């Protein structure tokens, strides 16, 4: 088990099943300030009690995350969210349309709402009501907000299975609440909805831009795909990075490249490492497989190798997939 203040290199996370017992154990660990990864419908999150600054500090340390990067507070329902932040009519409309679900709303934090370290000292706060039954049961059992970034070391590929979490953070956290592969596979869509001023899309994700705009009956300005200066603190350009380099929108792989396909594969792929996100070109299937396929190809590609990736359409969930691929392909520090 991990200690409160420093990761213990000899520790190994306990794998908990998503049963009533497993959920109760996970909730008890969180309440005593330990770090527990858990399944959501998007990706696995690494949870810490949001109001426990020591737990949140341990979370930043475990991820190796720059501490200016604020976390999403996961809450059980809209009522809990509106106790923490002020919701504009637009924010309420989006919450009612998409919660529980893969949407994060950034809104003005209420005076005295706590969780200062999780919010990285900002006067705004990111909130999400997840839709996964395991996450919902866990939040109900904990009874207070759980700060949870994706459960990967900072800058690495996001986890969609408990095995991914153990591979990246297994020696730095108390437990993983395992509910199998996550169904959506890319992180939540993030919308900034201030009380004064228009809403803006900060990160494409599990709720497509088209669905957001249909719910709003209006178009939504977009700060994503992120340009060089981070808009949301922590929208680092190089992110989700595999060790291999990435070549995007490729028609076919070069002789020594691995291949990540979408739709029908080109002929003559031979015995190279390869995966196909969706042979039928289904974007929801591709999103669900994206990170698992990147993890697998990265492991199979020799060091210094390249993963060539097929073109993915920039519509619906394709926007979130392309955003993650562009970050995976971005130059590294
Ligand atoms: O699907 C998800 O959103 C997953 C699961 C676990 O819920 N979580 C997730 O968290 O992706 P994370 O920490 O990997 O990404 C959160 C993003 C970061 O880019 C962060 O900068 C942004 O949310 N964020 C958090 N608070 C913010 C704020 N007050 N203003 C703008 N962006 C914020
Ligand atoms: Mg992340």
Cβ–ligand 1 distance for 39 under 6 Å, the answer: no
Other CB atoms within a 10 A radius of the CB of residue 109 amount to 21
Q: Is 127 helix (H, G, I), strand (E, B) or coil?
A: strand
pTM, entire model: 0.90
Cβ–ligand 1 distance for 233 under 6 Å, the answer: yes
Q: How far is the CA of 270 from the centre of ligand 2 (A)?
A: 34
Q: How far is the CA of 264 from the centre of ligand 1 (A)?
A: 34
Q: How far is the CA of 269 from the centre of ligand 2 (A)?
A: 32
Hey, what are 287's tokens?
């999103």
Ligand 1 atom showing the smallest separation from residue 46 Cα: 6
Q: What is the model's pLDDT at position 232? A: 46
C-alpha 150: how far from its chain's center? 4
Cβ–ligand 1 distance for 234 under 6 Å, the answer: yes
Task: Give the 3-state DSSP-derived string for 20-66, with helices as H, strands as E and coil as C.
Answer: HHHHHHHHHHHHCCCCEEECCCCCCEEEEECCCHHHHHHHHHHHCCC
Q: How far is the CA of 311 from the centre of ligand 1 (A)?
A: 26
Q: How far is the CA of 118 from the centre of ligand 2 (A)?
A: 14
Query: Which of 36, 44, 70 is the pocket-test mutation for ligand 1 (most atoms within 8 Å of CB)?
Result: 70
Q: Where are the alpha helices (DSSP H) in 53-190?
A: 53-63, 78-84, 89-98, 133-142, 162-169
Q: Is 322 helix (H, G, I), strand (E, B) or coil?
A: helix
10-residue stretch averages of pLDDT, the chain, 333 residues long: 47 94 98 98 98 94 84 97 98 98 98 92 96 98 97 94 97 98 98 95 97 96 57 51 92 97 97 97 97 95 93 96 90 62
Q: How far is the CA of 267 from the centre of ligand 2 (A)?
A: 35
Q: How far is the CA of 309 from the centre of ligand 1 (A)?
A: 26
Cβ–ligand 1 distance for 82 under 6 Å, the answer: no
Q: How far is the CA of 268 from the centre of ligand 2 (A)?
A: 35
Hey, what are 118's tokens?
């999780």
C-alpha 287: how far from its chain's center? 12
Alpha-carbon distance of 291 to 275, in angstroms, equals 11
Nearest CA to ligand 1 atom 13: 149
Q: What is the model's pLDDT at position 230? A: 39
C-alpha distances in Å from residue 155, one per residue of 25, 87, 132, 211, 230:
29, 31, 25, 29, 15
Computed on alpha carbons and rounded to an integer, the radius of gyration of the chain in Å comes to 19
Cβ–ligand 1 distance for 190 under 6 Å, the answer: yes
Q: What is the model's pLDDT at position 11? A: 67
Q: For residue 187, give the ligand nearest its CA.
A: 1
Nearest CA to ligand 1 atom 24: 70
Q: For residue 291, give the ligand nearest its CA.
A: 2
Hey, what are 230's tokens?
């981070």
Cβ–ligand 1 distance for 226 under 6 Å, the answer: no
Q: How far is the CA of 296 from the centre of ligand 2 (A)?
A: 18
Alpha-carbon distance of 167 to 64, in angstroms, equals 15
Query: Which of 104, 161, 197, 200 is the pocket-test mutation for ligand 1 (most atoms within 8 Å of CB)?
Result: 104
Cβ–ligand 1 distance for 42 under 6 Å, the answer: yes
Q: For residue 147, give the ligand nearest its CA.
A: 1
Residues with CB under 5 A from ligand 2 (ion): 150
Alpha-carbon distance of 64 to 57, in angstroms, equals 10
């Amino acid at each position: 088990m991990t200690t409160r203040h420093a990761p213990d290199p000899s520790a190994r996370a306990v794998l908990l099943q998503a049963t009533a017992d497993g959920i109760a154990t996970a909730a008890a660990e969180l309440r005593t300030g330990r770090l527990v990864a858990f399944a959501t419908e998007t990706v696995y999150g690494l949870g810490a009690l949001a109001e426990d600054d020591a737990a949140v500090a341990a979370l930043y340390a475990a991820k190796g995350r720059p501490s200016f990067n604020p976390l999403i507070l996961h809450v059980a329902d809209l009522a809990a969210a509106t106790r923490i932040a002020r919701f504009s009519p637009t924010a309420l409309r989006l919450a009612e349309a998409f919660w529980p679900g893969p949407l994060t709303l950034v809104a003005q934090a209420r005076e005295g709402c706590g969780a200062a370290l999780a919010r990285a000292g900002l006067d705004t706060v990111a909130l999400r009501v997840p839709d996964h039954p395991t996450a919902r049961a866990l939040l109900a059992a904990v009874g207070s907000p759980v700060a949870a970034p994706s459960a990967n070391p900072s800058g690495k590929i996001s986890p969609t299975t408990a095995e991914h979490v153990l591979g990246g953070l297994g020696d730095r956290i108390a437990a993983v609440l395992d509910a199998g592969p996550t169904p959506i596979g890319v992180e939540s869509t993030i919308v900034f909805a201030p009380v004064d001023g228009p809403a803006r899309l900060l990160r494409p994700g599990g709720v497509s831009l088209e669905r957001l705009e249909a719910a709003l009956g209006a178009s939504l300005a977009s700060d994503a795909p992120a340009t060089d200066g981070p808009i949301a603190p922590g929208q680092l350009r190089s992110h989700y990075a595999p060790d291999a380099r990435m070549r995007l929108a490729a028609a076919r792989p070069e002789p020594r490249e691995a291949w990540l396909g979408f739709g029908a594969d080109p002929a003559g792929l031979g015995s190279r490492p390869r995966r196909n996100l969706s042979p039928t070109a289904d974007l929801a299937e591709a999103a669900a497989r994206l990170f698992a396929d990147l993890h697998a190809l990265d492991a199979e590609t020799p060091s210094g190798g390249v993963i060539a990736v097929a073109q993915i359409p920039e519509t619906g969930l394709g926007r979130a997939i392309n955003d993650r691929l562009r970050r995976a392909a971005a130059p590294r520090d």
